Amino acid sequence: MKPILTVEDLHVHFVSNSETTYAVNGLSIKLYSQEILGIVGESGSGKSVAVKSILGLLPETAQISGKIALGEERLDQLNSDRLRQIRGKEIAMIFQDPMTSLNPLFTISDQMTRVIERHLHLDKQGANELAELWLRRVGITDAKRRLNQYPHEFSGGMRQRVMIAMAMSLSPRVLIADEPTTALDVTIQKQILGLIRQMESEVQNSVILITHDLGVVANTCHRMVVMYGGMIMEQGNVSDVFSHPAHPYTQGLMDSLPSENNGRHLVPIPGQPAIATTEPKLCPFLDRCPKSISTCFQKMPVLTEIKQDHLVRCWLVEQGGNDETI
């Protein structure tokens, strides 16, 4: 099967006069049609930087290398006009705080129709009808009246719904959702994630969902990628990764959550996530890893398939897989 979106060997460095930070270090991701791919990671894992580089949204201090392709089209080689066309029309993005992407001075109708008119070349009335249709599809019943309201008249959850309607109205091939429910209450979170799932199956597009919350991934995504230090640590189907987490970092994340069976004492990961200021030569998780072995201190592990479509970057599984020494 051909992927819709391909990221190959992506590197993103931020250069300032005092130091260089290595935010993304050789990231390769394939997004297939009709799937929801979850990217999980903590602060500094490079998950947000990676998707922003797909859309060309990084500041000028970022040095980007690698291949990014939407279908056959190389996004990293496009001029800014074509990229602007693709942004929104082909790849849409929704953010953690919808208030930052909505202009408080214009009504929802103004903002939605302007985008629809520009990308789909519809007239005002057609655009308005399409906007109303999409508001209804995301579960806003009183769509006609709601269209003429301003962003502040919507609650946080409703605003995120408007953002989804706005993104979906252009029928993008890829929807990128960056922590879409982090700012919302739990009862609303479930509704928004349900909506994202429903949209994906109705419109048959693909979704990249970025989150720090394992519960969100487990209950929304089909496939997942666990990132740490700008690299993929583990990747696979959600059911495989959650039932048999193979990387010590993934295991650590799961153990640090309270559950019925881990009693009074949680098992945290020692230390804290850091962003590399030198080019990583060894596993970025090494200094926090409770299971490190001597090989870890010699060279960088590679992503290894331990089961079909289940990949892990760790010397432990390589050695477990074939008992021969390396």
Q: How far apart are CB 75 and other proteins at their closest, in Å? A: 30
Report the residue from 93, 216, 296, 311 that binds other proteins according to the rule CB under 8 A.
216
Residue 8's DSSP bridge partners are: 67
| Six token digits for residue 86 | 């693709």
Residues 6+ apart with CB under 8 A from 212: 40, 41, 42, 43, 179, 182
Q: Mark residues 248-287: x for contact with other proteins by CB under 8 A, - for none.
A: ----xxxxxxxx----xxxxxxx-xx--------------
- For other proteins, the binding residues in 134-153 under the rule CB under 8 A are 139-142
Q: Which of residues 90-129 bind other proteins (CB under 8 A)?
A: none
Q: Which of residues 288-317 bind other proteins (CB under 8 A)?
A: 288
Q: Which stretch binds other proteins (CB under 8 A): 21-29, 84-92, 97-105, 209-217?
A: 209-217
Structure tokens at 210: 């970025």
177's CB contacts (< 8 A; 6+ apart) are 93, 94, 196, 207, 208, 209, 210
- How far, in Å, CA of 210 to CA of 36, rounded? 10
215 counts as binding other proteins under rule CB under 8 A: yes
**Residues touching other proteins: how many (CB under 8 A)?**
51
Nearer to other proteins, 83 or 254 (CB): 254
User: Could you tell me the smallest distance in angstroms from the CB atom of residue 9 to other proteins?
Assistant: 27
Coil, strand or helix: which one is 326? Answer: coil
Sign of CA dihedral 141, 145, 150, 153: negative
- Residue 84: closest CA among 38, 110, 105, 115: 115
Cβ-contact 147, 116 below 8 angstroms: no
Residue identified by tokens 């892990």 is 312
Kindly tell me which residue out of 68, 195, 207, 276 binds other proteins, with binding defined by CB under 8 A: 195
Nearer to other proteins, 120 or 218 (CB): 218
Take residue 12 and report the two structure tokens written for it: 């993103």
Point out which residues bind other proteins (CB under 8 A).
42-43, 139-142, 155, 157-158, 185-191, 193-195, 197-198, 212-216, 218-220, 238-239, 242-243, 252-259, 264-270, 272-273, 288
